[in-house]
Amino acid sequence: MGRGALTLFRLRGIRVGVDYSWFFVLFLVIFWLSNLFETALGVDDSSAVPYVLAVASALAFFASILLHELGHALVAIRHGIGISEITLWLFGGVARMTRDTDSAGTEFKVAVAGPLVTLAIAVAGAAVGIALAGSREGFLEALTLQEHADVTGVEYAIAWLVSVNVLVLTFNLIPAFPLDGGRIARAIAWAVTGNRTSATRFAGTLGQIFSYVFIAVGLLLVLNDDVVSGIWLGVIGYLLGSAARNATAETKVTARLEGLRVADVMDSEPVAIPADATVEQALDEFFLRYRWPWFPVTDEHQRFRGLLVRESADAVPEPERRARRVRDVYQPDESGSLQVSTDAPLEALLGNEALRRLGGLVAVDRDGRLLGIVTLQHVGRALRDGVAARARG
């Protein structure tokens, strides 16, 4: 999936956007629903009601997909994992985490959060639909899109939204990595074996098996003249298999870091700038002396607060540098994406966006106190040592 091209809004620093492929799916859903509602309501082509219902239903569906991804995002943030963006695209949505989970429990909670949100939407929609219809039987008529039934257009729209969320929930719970069900399976395998790498390999294998099943079913549908559904399912199977194969291939890399923690490779003598230091002191005693583009900022208890980058210090007018304090100009780490726990597994850093962008992360203990700095060089050296050890073995 390409990066989202259009930004819709920002929520707690998270960019929420849509990929261009999303508009293609939106058009298809509206076109399909218009015909569906027109037939169910028994109106002719001149009525605008089916089209209005179709647009509202399609937007509500994508809003439910967004809420699904926000469920993942909020739980991830609660566990100290930053979210850089949420993007709606051709096959739904994706929340990009700045780093991977570092424990089986966190993996399970983040993975299950989205399906729980979708389940809540389906249950709430069903409750509203039954209330509007006046009975379960009336809502069932709307749910099955029975023609010429005593059902309003709004009831049909709510019933469709419920049914499509149930479909999304069912699909996402398939134990095929990287679907939510696959991530749940990885979390369970991780908890049972205590080995993240073997759990990922297991979930990736499941993902590849299900991808072959999807492609096979897609081919059968094409042979039975259901071309659109067959092609759609085949493409999903191909993308699922590709992602699963990539995850399995990555385990060959992470296996070299197995058993290593951040504390094993970090620089345990970090240089930090006190928050109450002046900007002039930061420039003279740190940036000019060490020639590093950024430094961690700590409070009086040595707790990590954020980063001071050279550009921010240089932007302070020279006459003000003696009076301005670092705490006034540093970049606070509100999302926790700039830090990592010292006992975090080293392989969890391989997909860390902040590590790639900054070249290093701040290592802290459970109380947030600065204990070290882990850099790309540290991770690279550990990988090279792993390769050498494997070769000697």
CB 74 within 8 A of CB 97: no
CB 84 within 8 A of CB 96: yes
Whether the per-residue pLDDT at 78 is higher than 90: the answer is no
Could you tell me how far CA 65 lies from the centroid of its own chain? Answer: 12
Q: pLDDT confidence of 188, banded at 50, 70, 90? A: very high
How far apart CA 307 and CA 296 sit, in angstroms, is: 5
Which residue matches tokens 């002039």? 280
- CA–CA distance from 300 to each of 274, 312, 371 (Å)? 7, 22, 14
Task: Name which residue leads in pLDDT, 50 or 309.
Answer: 309
How far apart CA 51 and CA 34 sit, in angstroms, is: 5
Whether the per-residue pLDDT at 389 is higher than 60: the answer is no
Of 26-30, 69-73, 246-250, 356-360, least confident by mean pLDDT is 246-250
Q: 317 preceded by cis ω (within 30°)?
A: no
In the prediction, which pLDDT does 1 show?
Answer: 47
212-241 residues labelled b (16+ CB within 10 A) or e (exposed): eebbeebeebbeeeeeeebebbbebbebbb
Average of per-residue pLDDT values in the chain: 86
pTM: 0.75
Whether the per-residue pLDDT at 2 is higher than 50: the answer is no
HSE of 19 in the Cβ direction (CA atoms, 13 Å)? 17
For the stretch 331-366, pLDDT in tens is: 998 777 788 888 888 877 777 778 888 899 999 998
For the stretch 114-144, pLDDT in tens is: 999 999 999 999 999 888 888 787 778 777 7
In the prediction, which pLDDT does 240 show?
Answer: 86
Whether the per-residue pLDDT at 387 is higher than 60: the answer is no
In the prediction, which pLDDT does 372 show?
Answer: 94
Could you tell me how far CA 383 lies from the centroid of its own chain? Answer: 26
For the stretch 320-333, pLDDT in tens is: 999 999 999 999 98
- CA–CA distance from 389 to each of 201, 380, 384 (Å)? 21, 14, 9
